[in-house]
A and B are shown apart, each in its own frame.
Chain A
């Protein structure tokens, strides 16, 4: 199994912060995308074992990306990392196929805790 992680966020700074947290727990093989369109393309072109995505992005959102990935039949773990914290939004994300949810702002430790819960790098 691959341990390649897909990180999707329209902020390059936020992608760097997330990738730093991933690296700290041993995930060093990362593919980046800046929106849901690029994210789906990267997902289809790589053997991805974990997806971390923002919600609000131009072109195609993280929730649409989640639905697109689930429509392929994939059960890959998907984490939403977003500012959308209302209960109705969390429910919407889970119904779309998101496995876990992390609110911005977040600490690196919170990212690590989420990752530990679901996967260990190969």
Chain B
């Protein structure tokens, strides 16, 4: 996966957290993803298809996911409930969608978000991809955006 593919995801993530959650992110070091477990226990996942195919995963801790939901709704959920999974899915959707727009290609499509919760859950990226992880820090906690994309055959 070429390095320039990550820039739209970096700026989209910063933009979504700033606009929808009023939260500034500090970017960490881009790294190779060495295993199939996302960094945290709540994952919002979006499939990408078209000129490239693969997946974007927005991974947050339970506490960060609840705090992010509180920022969006103005009220804090007591537990990791349907509002929290919905909010995480929508965050993933907006990041993938904004990144897709920044690519400037109508040849890409994004799917509907899926959210998985639980320790040590696993995500399988396309075998042709080299999954990378983009870590961010914020007042809400740490966030990891994990991306595995491969160019599609013509």
Residues of A with Cβ closer than 8 Å to B?
10-14, 16-17, 20, 56-58, 82-89, 103-107
Contact = CB atoms under 8 A, between A and B. Distances in A.
Contacts, number: 66
Interface stretch (B34-42, B54-62, B68-76, B126-134): B68-76
B90 interface: yes
Contact of B74 (A11, A20, A88): A20
Nearest to B22: A107
Determine chain A's interface SS by DSSP, over half rule: loop
Interface of B: 15-16, 19-20, 69, 72-74, 82-83, 86-87, 89-90, 93-94, 96-98, 100-101, 104-106, 110, 112
Top 5 A-B residue pairs of the complex, sorted by shortest distance between their CB atoms: A83-B97, A85-B101, A105-B19, A88-B106, A11-B90
A84 B97 contact: yes
B19 A83 contact: no
B87 A13 contact: yes
B101 A14 contact: no
Given A12-B82, A12-B86, A105-B20, A83 B93 contact: yes
